[in-house]
Structure 1
Amino acid sequence: MTVSRFHIPQQDHSPSAEQPAALRSYGWASAVPGPSLLIFGAVHGNEQSGTHAIRRWIERFESGQVRLKRGRLTMVPVANPKAFIKNEREGDRNLNRNFVPQAQPQNFEDHMVNALAPLLESHDALLDLHSYSGEGRAFAMTGPLNNTGTLEPFARQQEEEAFAKAVGLPIIVQGWLEVYEQAVKASGGALRPEHGIGTNEFMRSRGGYAITVESGSHEEPQAIEVADRCIAGVLALLEMADVTVEPVAQYTTHHMRQVFMRQSADDRMQKEWQNFDPFRQGDLLATRADGSQILAPFDGCVIFPQPDAAVNREWFYLAQTDRS
């Protein structure tokens, strides 16, 4: 089948169409040895494009339209049922922060971490499907380069990069946790190191590799198509199903390098920066409440601008760009 020709089925996409009382996962195992792949949707409850795409693939496998050729596949269409029912980002807290198992869980997301962590530990690779508010382009996020450091040691960079390219999105963002560590140090205690640990970081800490896909705007139907194609891409890469995907001619990788914190409610950005807006070294990016200017330290682009960020929270990140 040709994944690029898929269309959105006529069905109820409202959060009330399904109200899961507990975490549900769907799994298939082939008699032929191979990799183990885990796919999450709705880690944030209002980010449902991945959920709808996963449900399509569940139906394809269950109906026999697609069969698993090798390895093991597990799909979790709704990783955060409480937030999903509310159609809000969080149930009690952000599931994609402090993704660390708890001996004494204090809230709903703690319980979900404890339920999801064993799945992560028993698989080789994770595709975590998200979306975002507002307009913008879809992109994939990868972790660190291979390293033996203490923050996020990693030895599967090449596999993870191939995984990111397989989803078919021309934009890749690399190096989240390294720069988040800068934010922790600059926050004056408002942020904690474990807040930077999400599903991907936990997966890498257990010897696997992982990417996050931001498939587009929450309310944009095309985001479902993007998530659908991403699943097809990784299944094709890992030779787990007979699917056909079109390759991307060129990839742009944005390496996250620096973060600026909002120090005062009167700090102002130079303009309404959007994700991936480019700048040149020396350009004025923002002005502090005391009049001091933030000038671009290198050629690059803005990542994750938050003009209304709280004081001592991340205001915007800067990245350097490579094209291949």
Structure 2
Amino acid sequence: MTRSTDHPTTLRVHQYLGLQPGPRLIVLGAVHGNETCGTQALHSVIEALDRGHLTLLRGQLTLVPVTNPLAYRGHAREGERNLNRKLVPPAIPQDFEDRVARVLCPLLQAHEVLLDLHSFHTAGAPFVMVGPHDNQGLLEPFAHAQAEAALAAALGPALVVEGWLETYAHGVERRRAHPVTVARAAPDPQFGVGTTEYMRACGGYGVTLECGQHGDPQAPVVARLAVLRTLRLLGMVGMAEEMPEDGEVGGGAAPTPTPHTVMCLFDVIDCEHAGDHFSREWASFDPVRAGEVLGHRDDGRPVVSEVDGWIVFPNPRAQVGQEWFYLARASDRVL
């Protein structure tokens, strides 16, 4: 693909290096360009650090407010493709996101912990996405589930979602077998690898925090508090009294423990025709009952939930071959 001459040519990174050894944390905003809550939050944290209201005591802190500058400039989810799919450092970049990946992937490799800040297009409560239990499987081997769960529990939101990559891989297999969507199907399960999956593959751990709906004025607040709580959990910062609204995140009392609801994604349903439509306006984490009609195919066939659970990531604007919605059920994981 020919590179446009007016594309951004740099990735701006803010890095703070403590004089005492400690964790290496990286925080990303605007991996998708229309998800700006993380950008706003990180600019606020940078200002607090630069003004001395927040002090890095140890370790390495790297902040990337705008991870996809092309998408961000266009206020779009993607520049030339979705940066958060099949994230690898390509030998020969084919598009803008490939060029970002060649810089971003080594940056992730140099850290131990990742917090990736996102938002979503439909209404719903903030939630955290975590990886698998510790395992030595082929899809997503992992050895830091306990540390990752502790991070997820500290961020604030009560909803925690697991099962992303396994469910995505299941969707890939289904698309390969479907005559309508096979032409648009992702070529392999690794297409589901984004920032956190790449981080785990490099030996670290990380979570995705979905801070709220795009444009929700509370979403940057959720994102900012999550950054501060992560820094506190890792013992990396001290905080001045000039930040009273965040006093509970500094050297004072810890936040009140949150009772968490942990759910596991287990199925993904694709849009098969432009006429597919939902039975009503769904929001992520709306509860569904076994046998409940969630939508209809273009020819009138109902699409029903097979179990009691929740609908997740409903996308009424999904294109043919794209994920229409996910289904989740209760998880046995305890944070």
TM-score by length of 2: 0.86
Superimposed CA distance per residue, residues 268-292 of structure 1 (whole angstroms, 9 cap, x where no aligned partner): 4332222101012232333444554
Residue pair 2:170, 2:267 contacting (<8 A) in 1 also: yes
Residue pair 2:122, 2:284 contacting (<8 A) in 1 also: no
Out of 286, 293, 305, the residue aligned to residue 284 of structure 1 is 293
Out of 310, 318, 322, the residue aligned to residue 327 of structure 2 is 318
How far, CA to CA, are the matches of 1:58 and 1:264 in structure 2?
A: 46
- The DSSP-based 3-state class of the residue aligned with 1:187 is helix
Residue pair 2:122, 2:283 contacting (<8 A) in 1 also: no
Q: Which deviates further from its counterpart, 310-319 or 296-305? A: 310-319
Match of 2:243?
none
How far, CA to CA, are the matches of 1:20 and 1:248 in structure 2?
A: 42
Residue 191 in structure 1 maps to residue 200 in structure 2: no
Aligned-residue identity in percent: 44
Residue pair 1:170, 1:248 contacting (<8 A) in 2 also: no
Out of 294, 304, 307, the residue aligned to residue 298 of structure 1 is 307
How far, CA to CA, are the matches of 2:256 and 2:105 in structure 1?
A: 32
Match of 2:218?
222
Check 1:48–1:104 CA distance in 2 against 1; reply closer, same or farther (3 A cut).
Answer: same
Residue 43 in structure 1 maps to residue 43 in structure 2: no
In the alignment, structure 2 segments of 5+ residues that lack a partner are 1-6, 177-181, 240-247, 250-254
The alpha-carbon deviation at position 135 of structure 1 amounts to 2.4
Residue pair 1:46, 1:87 contacting (<8 A) in 2 also: yes
Q: Which runs of 4+ in 1 moved over 4 A?
A: 289-292
How far, CA to CA, are the matches of 2:66 and 2:277 in structure 1?
A: 38
How far, CA to CA, are the matches of 1:112 and 1:287 in structure 2?
A: 39
The alpha-carbon deviation at position 141 of structure 1 amounts to 0.8
How far, CA to CA, are the matches of 2:299 and 2:285 in structure 1?
A: 27
Residue 78 in structure 1 maps to residue 74 in structure 2: no
Match of 2:283?
274
- The DSSP-based 3-state class of the residue aligned with 2:321 is coil
Aligned amino acid, residue 230 of structure 2:
V
Check 1:159–1:104 CA distance in 2 against 1; reply closer, same or farther (3 A cut).
Answer: same
RMSD: 1.9
TM-score by length of 1: 0.89
Aligned amino acid, residue 281 of structure 2:
E
Residue pair 2:153, 2:258 contacting (<8 A) in 1 also: no
Give aligned pairs, total: 306
Aligned amino acid, residue 283 of structure 1:
E
How far, CA to CA, are the matches of 1:97 and 1:172 in structure 2?
A: 21
Superimposed CA distance per residue, residues 221-265 of structure 1 (whole angstroms, 9 cap, x where no aligned partner): 211111100101101110111353323431111210111223333
Out of 263, 270, 287, the residue aligned to residue 272 of structure 2 is 263
Residue pair 1:183, 1:260 contacting (<8 A) in 2 also: yes
Alignment of 1:198-213 (within 5 A): 198-213=194-209
Match of 2:229?
233
In the alignment, structure 1 segments of 5+ residues that lack a partner are 1-18
Q: Which deviates further from its counterpart, 169-178 or 186-195? A: 186-195
How far, CA to CA, are the matches of 2:26 and 2:152 in structure 1?
A: 14
Match of 2:45?
57
How far, CA to CA, are the matches of 2:139 and 2:22 in structure 1?
A: 30
Aligned amino acid, residue 118 of structure 2:
H
Out of 158, 174, 180, the residue aligned to residue 162 of structure 2 is 174
Aligned amino acid, residue 198 of structure 1:
G
